[in-house]
Amino acid sequence: MAAARPFYNALFRRNWQMLGAVFGGAFAFEMVYDTSMNKLWDNLNRGRQWKDIRSKYVEEE
């Protein structure tokens, strides 16, 4: 129980702290989840998507 004390002070003590934690957590989770799922998706579809074959057809760069 004593270990939970810093969490309580940082997150739940005041309402704005709680709200901030919820919104910030949602934002961070969304970014991390999206990036990792996109990576997984690109890995499952390696060589099939346009970005994989684009380099063959783009002339400049």
Q: Are 31 and 38 within 8 A, CB to CB? A: no
Taking the C-alpha atoms of residue 39 and residue 45, their distance in angstroms, rounded to an integer, is 10
> Binding another protein by CB under 8 A: which of 9, 33, 35, 39?
33
35 binds another protein, rule: CB under 8 A: no
Tokens describing residue 3: 């270990």
61 binds another protein, rule: CB under 8 A: no
> Binding another protein by CB under 8 A: which of 1, 15, 16, 50?
50
Question: Residue 20's closest CA among 1, 3, 33, 28?
Answer: 28
Q: Which residues bind another protein (CB under 8 A)?
A: 33-34, 37-38, 40-41, 44-45, 48-50, 52-54, 56-59
